Structure 1
């Protein structure tokens, strides 16, 4: 079958503009933030509903992540059940809802095994006490680790799947679990993206975004036509057929910029060095603290006996940068040490 763009040629954009209608809404609200008239029109006319809404911020506030990643899908599925002609609900999740699992992971739906309502009540009680931004972020990480996940993102996405599983009725549901989505392979044009506190032997399971879209379209066609009311799960990745380690990617990047160096503002080549790997957050923290302290000029300032106010300013800036890198390392630990495939 020809691509839609090939079929319509020069009139492709005109055709697409007739098909695309932007409607403001809010997945965090039970009525999706859509006015009743528009909601009724959608309910009477749509055949397939795809949910790709999510907060992918790995350092998100727990209340925000719960509202978007966990409650959001259930709000949308509730609306789907009011649609007269709908034949499929497709939810885009993440392969990392399997956070912590090792080896080959089966394509099975997550069974509700957490008291999600309790998590929501906990957040509501803390919101009333006006918890700070940082405390809400820390809470998300704490709750995730208590229940066996390593990040607020993967934890709330997993609970979103559980909410969907608990609501299954007579509508076919497809859950797509992409791994690390990177730039396009072909459509609409090739692109690039870059990434540490990792195990270099871990498989870097990346998949181009256009391949994820193609998988979604194929799943819609298959299960939308069949009309069988069950849940089908598809994990979209590359690790089983085309495995590449994180170490490979870092080495390829190093070799590329060694052969094709970037230039600084003066036109001089920017030198790069081999990447160091750390298996513990303690070793990484010590390394990054030492490197940033050297780079900041803090030691020179101490030796040269600079003004206390200047030293304090440098020290504060240095600690802030160290904290940032350590927090990022902890946040992305899930992906740097994930052994599932």
Structure 2
């Protein structure tokens, strides 16, 4: 269905929208975009973690409204900016990990009567997150939001943001298919969400019974390792994409047979704003930025990547534009007969592919033309990077260059009665950290799907 920008903008006029995850990168872009292009939106409710309403309001003000991303909107409204925001934006102190979204009954009832559109962006995106935390936010959070959606008398659309990598690391064309309950990527396995929730409770109970549960660090490590182990058992590479896949399955299961249109947006690697409101804007350090920063500081002499492969990134503002268009396209006001759950891949690999070589050559050219200067005022020379085209080659390199010398250092340290313990422990910790990063992030460097 073809839609022009005016039609999309008009749809949001007079609407009440509930947004989760508004303090995150994508959430901020969405809130700013709606307020800027459709000032006649009725209300935008922002569900944020806070102890009470004043704290929620303060958090939204500091972490969302006061950011530089809202500069264009601030300039547009001038002195009336704050008044405009206060009339449109409502901060709610709650959390999707709880029944009823953690809201008081009266607030929840009033919200259910008012909301036209729900946009769920809330998620923990840490690849190596605790399994219990990931299940709470990425899976149970979706369930609680679906239960709330069923109570909303005016609801016309539920937009859920997932990730393109729930499809795993298959090669070739990956179709936009909903994830069915029980579906996994490993043949012969059945993914039972309730069983996974029970498993977490049993493991934590066992840790406590053995006297290990008292230490936060012990439980944290156990939960992180459990998440990765379960993800790989079912065919996913890390806890984040695994629990996002479960969240999608729960979404379809909870709203099956209902009358609420549901759209799932699966972006690939989200990067900075391309066009508006602030080209190049980025919040924090995201996946690709870590590589650029490491190269800029000359801390990265080598990296894991096949420069010929497509680096599937998508600007944040393009993802938000796609989300808004999908909401309009599949809301009951305009939609022809459609599947209840529709899936969109917001990616660049098929339409406008860019290889890892593009990233490397762009960064290399920039730092040759604009070299960094150290604290002593001297120019930091820009070196070439070496790229390993397989994880096996990288492991061999790390073993010969780092692991073997580490073992020699360990032996010398023993002979010297621990004199070099601090040096050995520090280098060993760094080695293990790098190997862990490769283990978790490595598959993304060789992704061949589109």
Provide TM-score, normalisation by structure 2: 0.69
Sort the Cα spacing of 1:310 and 1:338 in 2 relative to 1 into closer, same or farther, 3 A: same
8 A contact 1:44–1:83 mirrored in 2: yes
Aligned-pair CA distance for 1:291: 5.7
Work out which structure has the larger RCO, using CA pairs closer than 8 Å and 6 or more positions apart in sequence.
1
Change (3 A) 1:264 1:308: farther
Of 132, 154, 170 in structure 1, the residue corresponding to residue 259 of structure 2 is 170
Query: Secondary structure at 2:380's aligned position in 1?
Result: coil
Structure 2, unmatched stretches of 5+, are 1-5, 10-32, 40-75, 184-190, 208-212, 214-218, 283-287, 292-302
Contact 2:311 2:355 (C-alpha < 8 Å) held by counterparts: yes
Q: Distance in 2 between matches of 1:163 and 1:151?
A: 19
Closer/same/farther in 2, CA of residues 293 and 56 from structure 1, 3 Å limit = same
Question: Which residue of structure 1 lines up, in the alignment, with residue 440 of structure 2?
Answer: 331
| Matching residue of 2:21 | none
- Deviation (angstroms), 1:206: 0.7
User: Equivalents in 2 of 1:124, 1:108: separation in Å?
Assistant: 31
Q: Give 1:283 deviation, angstroms.
A: 3.5
Task: State the partner residue of 1:31.
Answer: 100
Which residue of 2 is the match for residue 263 of structure 1?
373
Q: 1:66 to 1:171 in 2, by over 3 A?
A: same
Aligned counterpart, 2:329: 222
Matches of residues 1-341 of structure 1 in structure 2 within 5 Å?
1=6, 5=36, 9-10=76-77, 11=80, 14-112=83-181, 113=183, 114-130=191-207, 132-167=219-254, 168=256, 169-191=258-280, 194=289, 195=291, 196-224=303-331, 225-226=333-334, 230-288=340-398, 308-341=417-450
Residues 253-294 of structure 1: per-residue CA shift (max 9 Å, x gap): 122212211011111111232222224445324534666689
Q: For residues 128-163 of structure 1, what are the alpha-carbon distances to aligned partners after superposition, in whole Å with 9 as ceiling and x for unaligned?
A: 123621121111111111111111111110111011
SS at match of 1:49: strand
> What does the per-residue CA deviation read over 1:316-339, in whole Å, with 9 as the maximum and x for residues that have no partner?
000000111111111112321211
Deviation at 1:115, TM superposition (A): 1.1
C-alpha contact (below 8 Å) 1:90/1:176 kept by paired residues: yes
Preserved CA contact (<8 Å) 2:305 2:445: yes
Distance 1:17 1:291, change over 3 A: farther
Contact 2:305/2:390 (<8 A) preserved: no
Return the offset for 1:309.
4.0
Question: Taking structure 1 as reference, are residues 286 and 133 closer, same or farther at Cα in structure 2, changes over 3 Å only?
Answer: farther
Taking structure 1 as reference, are residues 16 and 90 closer, same or farther at Cα in structure 2, changes over 3 Å only?
A: same
Gap change, CA 1:248 and 1:7, over 3 Å in 2 = closer
Aligned length: 338
In structure 2, C-alpha distance between the alignment counterparts of 1:310 and 1:251, rounded to whole Å: 44
CA contact (8 A) 1:99 1:338 kept: no
Shift of 1:307: 6.3
Over 3 Å counting, the alpha-carbon distance change for 1:147 and 1:97 in structure 2 is: same
Q: What is the DSSP-based 3-state SS (H/G/I as helix, E as strand, rest coil) of the residue aligned with 2:111?
A: helix
Distance in 2, Cα, partners of 1:209 & 1:70 = 23
Cα contact 2:391–2:442 (8 A) shared by 1: no
* 3-state SS of 2:100 partner: coil
Q: Is the 8 A contact 2:304 2:445 kept in 1?
A: yes
Q: CA RMSD in A?
A: 2.7
Judge conservation of contact 2:305–2:387 (CA < 8 Å) in 1.
yes
1:333/1:210 CA distance change after superposition, 3 Å: same
Task: Using structure 1 for the length normalisation, give the TM-score.
Answer: 0.90
CA offsets 1:210-250 (integer angstroms, 9 cap, x no match): 11111111111121223657111111011111111123212
